[in-house]
Chains A and B, each alone.
Chain A
């Protein structure tokens, strides 16, 4: 009996040892993790030069399904121009991507080029040795061609070394599209589009009544809690909530804004629309592409979405007559604009890539006018190369969208730009359930006391943020809660580089 127990204990220890080795996870105690200063090995990378006749296969994985057709044509052209290069390109959904790429990296089989997975900050990825800097392989002119604010320290760059490039210029993705056909059927003139929350509520009620079950005021994608969170954060920002973009937590007078007066107002407005029956009844179970498709089938008058819809509708629903307008503002006027942060990290060269020079050549071609112009022409895409936007943005709705973005949205401060060490706080913070998006989902289903839930969310967020900041500070990073508070931030104006310096 004793022998059996001993053998079982040994087997357990062996398997656990294997688990640690198999997943390449280094386990430390809580005390070690507090005092341990991350000892990062500085390795001077030798510049690789691939021989002219050497056969190279570039494995590229990302989630850019909306540009897939253009991308494949681009790859064909690139391979014709570089006959020794073979490109293996895979497009995954964002969820699949994270699981697949993280597993591949751990197994030492990372693709040569891959984007930074959502939820991971650049500092974490570099610390984990996922990417290598590309400065030695790309030209200075290439880096200079990116518009101002596209390459930011802590976001795409660390210690002056560029690790990732942004896919597109970051613009707001919560503007209101309207279906002209549905509005006309409901007797709403395009000249009298609702501007305030009360007007919007009234118009949605009128449309839903006129639709008699055939079409509704507004449609949302309740199965995607990130979209719901974005919508409500935008509404709260208009009411002066200083909520910033999704995944950001900003502090005002030391407190997070999840339960601010503006957030409660935004939730009240959303809840009112649900209670009126103005939402398409499928809203709570739809994903964004499904909601987009039903909007195009004239089942709703309004949808809050991003610019990417424009090219999809143009291709898949050429008969759809639609326009774009700003989000309606609170009745007493907007106290803030729609917040967005600068361009975010996307594609980088894997640290394990054997031909980083070829990967860099690919990237330079990918950001060339030749390729970027096609994406901009398709509509729904704003290039990080300003000159391309100016020349090739011709779609009428896209031009309206771009114009509205400049008028209705304002660049919000980003704690990582102000202090790159705050990226460690984002890596430390653990997800809180229910999130704001999940609470909004509860509002859609009318199965939640949202006032109580956002109060709890705010308390939990505050506690978790304070814990994470303390943990990171104890680990030796120069961060404090003040890094998440921007006293000189006026939510009606862009937060500029000078403001970062002046804070």
Chain B
């Protein structure tokens, strides 16, 4: 009798679960449809185009199999672009994470008066169009721009900031950090606000100074969220495009050419010869795969670290 009753219950449970599942899918339909249309379809199309010998301008294309990928793996300018993307990311991410965290902590826990105003000031560059920032910065860092004029006041020689292969990447990174620091400050602020005020008070009663409170109490608590912020920051830095396109166009002589500018240039512009959309797609797919791999590695490391923490 008992067995029969429990059987009926489990059937009812399953039915209810199925019903919930169906409703979940019904509510997810709009999001799934949008995802498939605007993300899934273009990604898979790009995979398909990467197998074509196609300029993108005509209605005829030749199936090239893996030829584009074979050529790509022997293309030193592609590897230069991938290398530059990583260079940008490696320099940019530590600065972005530390400066944004410092600002967030400052405006969350130290400066109380006028914190909202300061937050807005640091968030302003985020809402400014990147290409506009790029164009303005091009003039500020230009040969006769305000930075060089300032150097001139101290009797220093002007520096060709954007026209020199040695300095262009550094300048782009500085502008990139200034432009995006507000975004990560907001992420850190959200993380910091999850730390209970009681903990600050307890630390104060125990005699901890500000640095000790931050390093021994606050930082360990927000670290799991920090991992996610770091992964977002890494991926976003690897995808940099508009800032470089407007400031240096990938130059001088490919010194700041990143994967996105390589793909854009190959797909759309050429002085002699037709553009190569198929080849550009193979570069986009390959670099996309690299970013996915980075994401997986990042998440795995984050998982291992958080497991260790719980142990």
Contact = CB atoms under 8 A, between A and B. Distances in A.
Interface stretch (A21-29, A41-49, A56-64): A21-29
A438 B48 contact: no
Given A247-B271, A432-B273, A18 B164 contact: no
Given A213-B152, A281-B158, A284-B251, A25 B144 contact: no
B21 to A, nearest CB: 17
B163 A246 contact: no
Contacts of A444: 163, 252
Contacts of B48: 15-16, 19-20
A446 B164 CA distance: 8
B61 to A, nearest CB: 5
Contact of B163 (A26, A106, A284, A434): A284
Nearest to B255: A447
A299 interface: yes
B41 A15 contact: yes
A426 B272 CA distance: 8
B252 A222 contact: yes
Interface of B: 40-41, 44-45, 48-49, 52-64, 77, 138, 142-145, 148, 152, 158, 160, 162-165, 247-249, 251-255, 265-266, 268-276, 279
B271 A120 contact: no
29 contacts: A16-B48, A18-B41, A18-B45, A25-B52, A95-B268, A98-B268, A119-B57, A119-B270, A119-B273, A124-B57, A128-B59, A222-B251, A223-B249, A225-B271, A248-B272, A281-B143, A281-B158, A429-B273, A430-B273, A431-B266, A431-B272, A434-B77, A434-B254, A435-B271, A436-B271, A438-B254, A441-B253, A445-B251, A447-B253
Interface string A193-222: 000000000000000000001000000001
A437 B59 contact: no
Top-9 shortest CB links A-B: A281-B143, A445-B252, A442-B253, A431-B270, A284-B163, A447-B165, A431-B273, A19-B45, A15-B44
B61 A26 contact: yes
Nearest to B78: A433
A213 B165 CA distance: 22
Contacts, number: 172
B251 A430 contact: no
A435 B250 CA distance: 14
Given A430-B276, A432-B272, A448-B253, A30 B163 contact: no
Contacts of A442: 252-253
Given A19-B49, A24-B59, A444-B252, A246 B271 contact: yes
Given A12-B44, A30-B53, 4 more contacts: A282-B163, A439-B253, A445-B255, A447-B164
A229 interface: yes
B288 to A, nearest CB: 16
B142, B148, B253 — most chain A CB neighbours (10 Å): B253
Interface in A224-271: 225-226, 229, 246-249
A280 B143 contact: yes
Interface in A384-442: 426-439, 441-442
A28 B158 contact: no
Contacts of B164: 445-447
B74 to A, nearest CB: 13
Contacts of A357: none
Contacts of B163: 222, 281-285, 444-445
Contacts of A117: 57
Contacts of A124: 57-58
Nearest to B148: A281
A436 B271 CA distance: 9
A27 B276 CA distance: 15
B272 A281 contact: no
Interface string A1-44: 00000000000100110111011111111100100000000000
A490 interface: no
A99 interface: yes
Contacts of B55: 427
B268 A284 contact: no
Interface string A264-306: 0000000000000000111111000000000000010000000
Interface in A105-139: 106, 117, 119-120, 124, 127-128
A98 B57 CA distance: 9
A431 B63 contact: no
B143 A15 contact: no
A354 interface: no
B45 A119 contact: no
A229 B271 contact: yes
B251 A441 contact: yes
Contacts of B45: 15-16, 18-19, 22-23
Given A285-B162, A445-B165, A119 B63 contact: no
A102 interface: yes
A223 B168 CA distance: 13
Contacts of A299: 144
Contacts of A29: 62-63
Given A19-B44, A30-B64, A284-B163, A99 B274 contact: no
A464 interface: yes
B269 A95 contact: yes
B144 A285 contact: no
Contact of A427 (B59, B64, B165, B274): B274
B61 A25 contact: yes
Contact of B253 (A28, A30, A428, A438): A438
Contacts of B54: 25
A128 B59 CA distance: 7
Contacts of B53: 30
A128 B60 CA distance: 9
Contacts of A431: 266, 270-276
A426 B44 CA distance: 30
Contacts of A12: 44
B210 to A, nearest CB: 44
A119 B162 CA distance: 29
B165 A33 contact: no
Contact of B252 (A246, A280, A284, A433): A284
A284 B162 contact: yes
A146 B214 CA distance: 79
Nearest to B138: A285
Contacts of B144: 213, 280-282, 299
Nearest to A22: B45
Contacts of A441: 251-253
A246 B273 CA distance: 11
A128 B58 contact: yes
A25 to B, nearest CB: 5
Interface in A73-115: 95, 98-99, 102, 106
